[in-house]
Structure 1
């Protein structure tokens, strides 16, 4: 090897590169709407493609630390392969393949981050990225709503700060801002509890995220907050239980959760009225009714994967025509998957998220550090938000789903002995970084 090759190899394998790469990925993913709005879609795609190439090179350099079987969750591979196969029967194979490339590109970024950073390092990097994104969002809202008192159209900022909201920030919509803010509250609280950042930073971060969540005026924020709150209480009870009684607690929580979902479905209309989200739900109900009519024509395999809805692509354009709207998604990740990949794809999607949630919940139940609660709480947020939006299938939502699924698989997988999952060591991490994940400390 030449001196330049040796230097490049050392750079790609360095801890400094891992930190910088992770932060760059998260800033790009979280800022994707702003990047596309300011510089165009080609700029965003070029940035993500460059990060994918760099990420693959990092994994190649670190290949001795990895095993092929544990590179990615099996459920993720099945879902991605099925999405690729759907291009064969889609009504637009080229656009379907483009949507698949976007899906795989973000998944690659999540896989790389999941292998070069442990749980707390991931939380720290995400926390830093979220602080920047939320601070910029608040700054832009102040500039638009107070200083110039007019909307910033190209960023979809309406300038409603003087009226108390709703705010969109640099995320394109109030629902997306609310979703990101809830993820931020979870992340910042884990940072605060693990003392991984000074309290002078952690506490204002939580306040900022909570403020933007409220001022987004998103009807889904309250639902997400309740779901995360209940999950946090349940997980705390399980963590405090002794080994003998913990299984009974787990089964009790599973049964209560199932009954709660059934009750929530039966009482969905009163709940919607209580949340004052009737108009939003009416829009969704009309959309879903038309969507299901088209799904029934291809119930098993769907119409082909596109991700965000493509303009002029059948049956997406037909659904928009009959609803007299211009939807860019099904406003529900489960219905979106059902339409595009059929019942088979929905089962794979549910297995991807469900297995990850069970694994991460079990790990968080037995490991002492609070940092392990981050993964199941984020997965709960994704699962609940998927009932109201399709964020989990693209961009930041898909990135977090793949990252959490990978993290859960690293900690508790059929590929390794369960006893190894209780040691607090993530075997895919470099030896010099292993000590960060077990004790809740690190940078």
Structure 2
């Protein structure tokens, strides 16, 4: 005879709210998003979309199961909500509303996944999950490159693998292009180094992972990855120096760093021709410069609202059909995330995109400079890599780039935000429920034993 009081709790809810399920969900999301190019190549775009849709529905169910521990006000950054809202509204003035709606659905779906991960995993657990996935994907990429270029001496066309590893590259792995592989290796290096510093994996695993990512970064032969790596490395040194200062001296140091950044950008602009020559990227930059100029010309037709959000765009659709180079050459993106946003969402969308990345970086940087654990440096340094690569590619607007951008913004929005004044549970400056200082044991462990 049962003596329970009230209706029985719905059986799946405890499972959806469990730490083990949260870890499995996070691993699956990272694997599906970072492996999307390979999934699409092998099983088709419909399969990829079905996987992501199922994960979104599952993620929403997880938030419902954890509704008692999640503050709706802290659910997502205001800038992210406004950007998604503006992109959704652009469907109404797009020349192809159904296509624009599909692009917006992909953008919003990945944002939902980032929000879920940001609320069900803490910082260290997120880094550990991403590190595990990237180790496998980079290992598979190297294995396929060796199989194609050395053992079989044949390309693997459907994966875009050219089999050039015997000539020391360029290689693409399962990420489609050498620039995409190069960007992933930079993110992987950041993640693996944070794992090493936090001792969340064995030293041998961490060192081997760093060597794997470094080797593939070199073999990718991507000029963009050199710039991203230099920018991220400089940011790492600056953040490390600030973290060593006393609280009273950090403010002056932050202002000095800001001025140094402005001066550095000016010097880089003045000597850009020399830098391009040193990177052996003259022809590539010439093509990009022509493309960027043409994108700006077309964007001036609708400078405020843009032509509507398409995401991964169709080169034959308006306005992209207008962006042609000499000889009728067309590109699937502007090769610059900022210009792609300007073209599709206009000046309003660009301001919102800059606010999303800029505020996320500022908040994350301040948190990382004040908290002792090095794991808090992962988000701002990842944002530095994302905002830098956005100057040369549009990775940040789709797939892994957009997922990481929104995830880092969600993390930053949970601290150093106006929301702290509204949350009576906040323990102090920079603390947020569900993030940061919960520790490894709060959700099933993120240490060496996972």
TM-score (norm 1): 0.95
Q: How far apart are 1:431 and its partner, in Å? A: 11
Aligned match of 2:60 in 48, 56, 60? 56
Asked if 1 retains the 8 angstrom alpha-carbon contact of 2:431 and 2:437, the reply is no
Asked if 1 retains the 8 angstrom alpha-carbon contact of 2:306 and 2:345, the reply is yes
Q: How far apart are 1:89 and its partner, in Å? A: 1.2
Asked if 2 retains the 8 angstrom alpha-carbon contact of 1:426 and 1:434, the reply is no
1:2-401 matches, within 5 Å, as 6-320=10-324, 324-401=328-405
Matched residue SS, 2:76: coil
1:82-116 per-position Cα deviation (integer Å, ceiling 9, x unaligned): 11111111111111111000100111111111110
Structure 2's unaligned 5+ residue stretches are 1-5
User: RMSD of aligned C-alpha atoms?
Assistant: 2.1
In the superposition, relative to structure 1, how do residues 396 and 119 fare at CA in structure 2: closer, same or farther (>3 Å)?
Answer: same
Partner of 2:410: 406
C-alpha separation in 1, matches of 2:436 and 2:248: 35
Asked if 1 retains the 8 angstrom alpha-carbon contact of 2:314 and 2:320, the reply is yes
1:240-282 per-position Cα deviation (integer Å, ceiling 9, x unaligned): 0001111110100011001111221222222111111011111
C-alpha separation in 1, matches of 2:26 and 2:398: 18
Asked if 1 retains the 8 angstrom alpha-carbon contact of 2:303 and 2:346, the reply is yes
Choose between structure 1 and 2: higher helix proportion. Answer: 1
Structure 1's unaligned 5+ residue stretches are none
In the superposition, relative to structure 1, how do residues 330 and 432 fare at CA in structure 2: closer, same or farther (>3 Å)?
Answer: closer
Q: How far apart are 1:432 and its partner, in Å? A: 7.7
Partner of 1:427: 433
Asked if 1 retains the 8 angstrom alpha-carbon contact of 2:305 and 2:345, the reply is yes
Asked if 2 retains the 8 angstrom alpha-carbon contact of 1:34 and 1:170, the reply is yes
C-alpha separation in 2, matches of 1:301 and 1:228: 33
Asked if 2 retains the 8 angstrom alpha-carbon contact of 1:290 and 1:322, the reply is no
Matched residue SS, 1:6: coil
In the superposition, relative to structure 1, how do residues 90 and 276 fare at CA in structure 2: closer, same or farther (>3 Å)?
Answer: same
